[in-house]
């Protein structure tokens, strides 16, 4: 029997886990690591299923090649030969943009893909780069990019010291926190209570977090920007604007005052569904608190005014003197913080061919990928590479995208399952399980509520190549070196580049991600190397967050831009909302469950016990009006599509709002996910409308979609 200490790579919380294996290398137990410096023993059901994931017989263990419509297992050599035969000619004949990429969420939780997929993407040189970011947090990158000059400088709630936490559109007791790496959120929220602080939740659903909070406001979906502007309006009207130390680092304060004028509590109350007096009280309590923080997540980003809402969250943190202050919203300083010159934030360096959407942070909205595949002409997408993504379930009007993909000349999926998306590929390249690879949460330590670092060596050897090698093999093919390219030489080249940026000599004692992480640690803000982390299996805690303004700012002015022109330009669109007649049609929102992980962990029996979770939640009053019965079937129709789903009548959702979780719909022919297919659920993104976007960021509206509902 052996035990290993690993950081869980499944969500943003970065819990330390203790994995026990028997003499046959079977995982017998996974528990929380009590000694982990950050998570201190916390674990959730997904982390506990790491063994089930590792041993899942459906997880791919060899490359698959489609021959005459059927997948066959092939050698890596055969897989790469096929790619060599079919991919480069497409780029040669039709140009680089004919090859599109979709990069999914688990790639950010995978050090090999985080560090080496960008080598491939750069080599491809395509403008058709898409990722899960445009169905997720892009508005936050946009607001940070314009306000602070760096799309990755995202302030996180200093949850362990705050005395007032206003949460909008997040359910951290279920999601375990996002853009806020904080294992054991229940314990941390309890801490706020024990300090005599207050938790306020704004959410159309009475979620677990809302139930735990001191106060819950069931807002009408898509109206957070109005509510947030009204909070600003009250602070201005009541003379409570007090940015404190930040005053000398601000541009645009007066513009914000002026912009907020039309958004009085009275004007927004009927649209948000929150009374004017309540809005006033919320604003004053924010201002009165010894310290406070406003935090918004998916419910505020994947909606019609995602960028304005994301911006106003930090405007409020500034106006109340809580940005960059203990107990407020603070900028983490990760051990691997990239050094060197950061480029100024620019958007719209290119536009999508069909709809003319601007590029943001190097990508185009995934909502328009189907347009680019379907529409003939110069620059039409003819090949697609998906890397740890399942866009056929996770992106809007998924039905249309799945159809469009059939028209591609060639498709590669780098994925660990044969599922709704990868079944459409010509070649699938699998990667090792989380226990067979090293792990380091490069991305999430930049979003962590304490400055932490923890390196996980592989627990078990892998029979599959590490995914960084796969990325470099593909890079070799794309750059004309063929499948026989010298991977070690390519890796040296990547490391030399990282070393150059870190102003260090390249090292040769390690390869792959370990060498890159070591270089980044050596050039980082703490006196630490990878060897130090290897000697600390429970992690190293560099302490609570510290103020970072002005050093963190990267705007041309060197100041915080409180009224960035491109966001201000979108405000008239919000102002127009105030003049529109009130709509009372039903709207669809999503929800997450503790035992799901977007679309891809429903194949693990321990996580799907307990019946069908993929239901449409309907308020009792709506159910009565529409003739829907609990346990009956409803049909949900939108401009984009139609689906049928079992009804769950509950007053947890607000009247006028229905909720269906995303990531289900595992009944596609040709998938090989036997557990998931036995309890498939329906794909909520069949009705998500790909034409509805947050304008500045191109992020899909996945919350607040107009729908019609009737008994099926």
Chain positions contacting ligand SF4, by CB under 6 A: 8, 10-11, 13-15, 43-44, 46-47, 176, 183
Which of 8, 83 has the CB closer to ligand SF4? 8
For residue 213, the SS3 value is coil
Choosing from 146, 597, 638, 697, the residue that interacts with ligand MGD (CB under 6 A) is 597
Smallest separation, CB 7 to ligand SF4 (Å): 8
663 binds, among Mo ion, ligand MGD, ligand SF4, none (CB under 5 to 8 A by kind): ligand MGD
For residue 72, the SS3 value is strand
Euclidean distance between CA atoms 212 and 57, whole angstroms: 39
Comparing CA positions, the residue from 550, 526, 552, 554 lying closest to residue 540 is 526
Segment contacting ligand MGD by CB under 6 A, of 198-206, 332-340, 443-451, 483-491:
198-206
Binding positions for ligand MGD, 470-509, rule CB under 6 A: none
Smallest separation, CB 207 to ligand MGD (Å): 4
Choosing from 47, 149, 169, 641, the residue that interacts with ligand MGD (CB under 6 A) is 169
- 694 contributes a contact to Mo ion by CB under 5 A: no
Smallest separation, CB 593 to ligand MGD (Å): 6
Smallest separation, CB 554 to ligand SF4 (Å): 30
Euclidean distance between CA atoms 664 and 478, whole angstroms: 34
Segment contacting ligand MGD by CB under 6 A, of 20-28, 114-122, 163-171, 479-487:
163-171
Smallest separation, CB 649 to ligand MGD (Å): 17
The DSSP call for residue 439 is B
Smallest separation, CB 456 to ligand SF4 (Å): 12
The sign of the torsion formed by the CA atoms of 690, 696, 702, 707 equals negative
Which of 33, 415 has the CB closer to ligand MGD? 415
Measured at CB, which residue is nearest to ligand SF4? 47
Which of 39, 419 has the CB closer to ligand MGD? 419
Euclidean distance between CA atoms 129 and 98, whole angstroms: 11
Binding positions for ligand MGD, 94-153, rule CB under 6 A: 104-106, 110, 132, 135-136
Is 183:38 a contact under the CB 8 Å cutoff? yes
- 136 contributes a contact to Mo ion by CB under 5 A: yes
Segment contacting Mo ion by CB under 5 A, of 108-116, 135-143, 148-156, 682-690:
135-143
Which x/- pattern, by CB under 6 A, does the window 577-596 give for ligand MGD?
A: ------------xxxxxx-x
Size of interface with Mo ion, in residues (CB under 5 A): 1
Choosing from 241, 383, 414, 647, the residue that interacts with ligand MGD (CB under 6 A) is 414
Smallest separation, CB 29 to ligand MGD (Å): 21
- By the 10 Å C-beta count (0-12 exposed, 13-18 middle, 19+ buried), 543 is classed as exposed
Which of 106, 698 has the CB closer to ligand MGD? 106
Which of 471, 495 has the CB closer to ligand MGD? 471
Comparing CA positions, the residue from 1, 3, 55, 2 lying closest to residue 31 is 3
Euclidean distance between CA atoms 181 and 543, whole angstroms: 14
The DSSP call for residue 480 is T
596 binds, among ligand MGD, ligand SF4, Mo ion, none (CB under 5 to 8 A by kind): ligand MGD
Contacts of 118 (CB under 8 A, 6+ apart): none
Smallest separation, CB 472 to ligand SF4 (Å): 28
183 binds, among Mo ion, ligand SF4, ligand MGD, none (CB under 5 to 8 A by kind): ligand SF4
- 448 contributes a contact to ligand MGD by CB under 6 A: no
Euclidean distance between CA atoms 50 and 65, whole angstroms: 28
Comparing CA positions, the residue from 283, 337, 289, 344 lying closest to residue 315 is 283
Is 201:167 a contact under the CB 8 Å cutoff? yes
Which of 59, 249 has the CB closer to ligand MGD? 59
Is 399:651 a contact under the CB 8 Å cutoff? no
Which of 136, 324 has the CB closer to Mo ion? 136
Smallest separation, CB 508 to ligand MGD (Å): 27
- 599 contributes a contact to ligand MGD by CB under 6 A: yes
CA angle 506/510/513 to nearest 5° reads: 90
Choosing from 100, 168, 347, 701, the residue that interacts with ligand MGD (CB under 6 A) is 168
301 binds, among Mo ion, ligand MGD, ligand SF4, none (CB under 5 to 8 A by kind): none
Choosing from 126, 162, 264, 598, the residue that interacts with ligand MGD (CB under 6 A) is 598
Distance set, CA 614 to CA 171, 241, 485, 528, 701 (Å): 18, 45, 46, 46, 20
Strand-pair category, 642-649 with 616-618 = parallel
Rounded-to-5 percentages of helix, strand, coil across the chain: 35, 15, 45
Distance set, CA 547 to CA 258, 323, 544 (Å): 29, 9, 10
Choosing from 126, 178, 451, 671, the residue that interacts with ligand MGD (CB under 6 A) is 178
Smallest separation, CB 438 to ligand SF4 (Å): 16
Size of interface with ligand MGD, in residues (CB under 6 A): 62
Q: How many helices (H) and strands (E) does the chain have?
A: 25, 29
Which of 65, 705 has the CB closer to Mo ion? 705
Which of 41, 362 has the CB closer to ligand SF4? 41
483 binds, among ligand SF4, Mo ion, ligand MGD, none (CB under 5 to 8 A by kind): none
| CA 430, chain centre distance (Å) | 22
For residue 280, the SS3 value is helix
Which of 449, 647 has the CB closer to ligand SF4? 449
Residue 703, phi then psi, degrees to nearest 5: -130, 125
591 binds, among Mo ion, ligand SF4, ligand MGD, none (CB under 5 to 8 A by kind): ligand MGD
- DSSP for 120-150, please give it: HHHHHT-S-EEEGGGGTTHHHHHHHHHHHS-
Is 448:156 a contact under the CB 8 Å cutoff? yes
Euclidean distance between CA atoms 629 and 618, whole angstroms: 10
Which of 17, 319 has the CB closer to ligand SF4? 17
- 297 contributes a contact to ligand MGD by CB under 6 A: yes
Is 76:470 a contact under the CB 8 Å cutoff? no
- 204 contributes a contact to ligand MGD by CB under 6 A: yes
HEC profile for 604-643? CHHHCCCCCCCCEEECHHHHHHHCCCCCCEEEEECCCCEE
- 681 contributes a contact to ligand MGD by CB under 6 A: no
Euclidean distance between CA atoms 6 and 18, whole angstroms: 6
CB atoms within 10 A of CB 376: 5
Which of 174, 199 has the CB closer to ligand SF4? 174
The DSSP call for residue 152 is T
Binding positions for ligand MGD, 682-711, rule CB under 6 A: 684-685, 688, 702-704
Residues that bind Mo ion in the complex, under the rule CB under 5 A: 136
- Contact footprint for ligand MGD (CB under 6 A): 11, 104-106, 110, 132, 135-136, 168-172, 174-176, 178, 202-205, 207, 219, 221-222, 224, 297-300, 303, 388-391, 394, 414-417, 419, 421, 431, 589-594, 596-600, 662-663, 684-685, 688, 702-704
């Amino acid at each position: 029997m052996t035990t290993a200490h690993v950081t869980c790579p499944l969500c943003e919380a970065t819990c330390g886990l203790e994995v026990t294996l028997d003499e046959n290398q079977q995982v017998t137990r996974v528990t929380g690591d009590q000694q982990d410096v950050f998570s201190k023993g916390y674990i959730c059901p997904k982390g506990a299923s790491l063994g089930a994931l590792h041993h899942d017989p459906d997880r791919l263990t060899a490359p698959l090649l489609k021959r005459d419509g059927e997948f066959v297992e092939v050698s890596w050599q055969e897989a790469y030969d096929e790619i060599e035969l079919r991919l480069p000619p497409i780029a040669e004949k039709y140009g680089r943009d004919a090859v599109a990429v979709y990069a999914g969420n688990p790639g950010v939780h995978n050090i090999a893909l985080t560090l080496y997929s960008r080598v491939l993407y750069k080599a491809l040189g395509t403008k058709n780069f898409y990722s899960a970011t445009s169905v997720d947090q892009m508005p936050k990158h946009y607001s940070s990019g314009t306000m602070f000059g760096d799309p990755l400088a995202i302030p996180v709630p200093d949850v362990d010291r705050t005395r007032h936490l206003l949460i909008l559109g997040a359910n951290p007791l279920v999601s375990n926190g996002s853009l806020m790496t904080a294992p054991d959120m229940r314990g941390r929220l309890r801490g706020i209570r024990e300090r005599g602080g207050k938790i306020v939740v704004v959410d159309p659903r009475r979620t677990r977090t809302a139930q735990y909070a001191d106060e819950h406001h069931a807002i009408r979906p898509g109206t957070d920007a109005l509510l947030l502007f009204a909070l600003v309006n009250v602070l201005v009207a009541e003379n409570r604007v007090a940015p404190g130390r930040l005053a000398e680092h601000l541009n645009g304060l007066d513009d914000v005052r002026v912009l907020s004028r039309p958004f009085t509590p009275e004007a927004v109350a009927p649209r948000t569904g929150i009374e004017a007096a309540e809005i006033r009280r919320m604003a004053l309590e924010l201002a009165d608190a010894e310290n406070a923080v406003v935090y918004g997540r998916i419910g505020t980003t994947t909606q019609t005014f995602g960028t304005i809402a994301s911006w106003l969250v930090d405007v409020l943190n500034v106006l109340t003197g809580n940005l960059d202050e203990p107990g407020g919203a603070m900028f983490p300083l990760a051990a691997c913080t990239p050094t060197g010159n950061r480029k100024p934030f620019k958007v719209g360096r290119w536009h999508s061919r069909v709809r003319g959407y601007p590029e943001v942070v190097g990508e185009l909205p995934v909502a328009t990928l189907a347009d680019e595949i379907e529409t003939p002409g110069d620059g039409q997408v003819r090949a697609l590479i998906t890397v740890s993504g399942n866009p056929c379930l996770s992106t809007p009007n998924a039905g249309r995208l799945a159809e469009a993909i059939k028209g591609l000349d060639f498709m590669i999926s780098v994925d660990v399952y044969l599922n709704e998306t990868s079944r459409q590929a010509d070649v699938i390249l699998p990667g090792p399980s989380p226990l067979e690879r090293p792990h380091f949460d490069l991305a999430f330590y930049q979003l962590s509520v304490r400055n932490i670092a923890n390196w996980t060596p592989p627990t078990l050897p892998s029979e599959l190549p590490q995914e960084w090698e796969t990325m470099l093999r593909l890079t070799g093919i794309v750059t004309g070196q063929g499948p026989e390219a010298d991977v070690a030489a390519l890796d040296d080249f990547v490391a030399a580049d990282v070393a150059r940026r870190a102003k260090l000599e390249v090292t040769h004692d390690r390869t792959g991600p370990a060498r890159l992480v070591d270089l980044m640690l050596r050039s980082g803000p703490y006196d630490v190397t990878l060897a130090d982390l290897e000697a600390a299996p429970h992690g190293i805690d560099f302490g609570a967050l510290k103020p970072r303004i002005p050093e963190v700012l990267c705007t041309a002015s060197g100041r915080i831009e409180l009224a960035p022109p491109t966001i201000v330009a979108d405000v008239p669109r919000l102002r127009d909302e105030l003049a529109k007649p009130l709509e009372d049609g039903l709207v669809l929102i999503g929800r997450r469950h503790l035992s799901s992980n977007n679309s891809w962990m429903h194949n693990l029996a321990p996580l799907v016990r307990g019946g069908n979770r993929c239901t449409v939640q309907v308020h009792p009053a709506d159910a009565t009006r529409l003739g829907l019965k609990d346990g009956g079937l409803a049909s949900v129709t939108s401009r984009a599509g139609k689906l049928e789903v079992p009804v769950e009548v509950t007053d947890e959702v607000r009247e006028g709002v229905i909720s269906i979780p995303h990531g289900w719909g595992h009944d596609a022919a040709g998938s090989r996910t036997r557990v998931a297919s036995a309890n498939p659920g329906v794909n909520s993104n069949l009705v998500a409308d790909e034409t509805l976007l947050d304008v500045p960021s191109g992020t899909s509206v996945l919350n607040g979609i107009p729908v019609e509902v009737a008994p099926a």
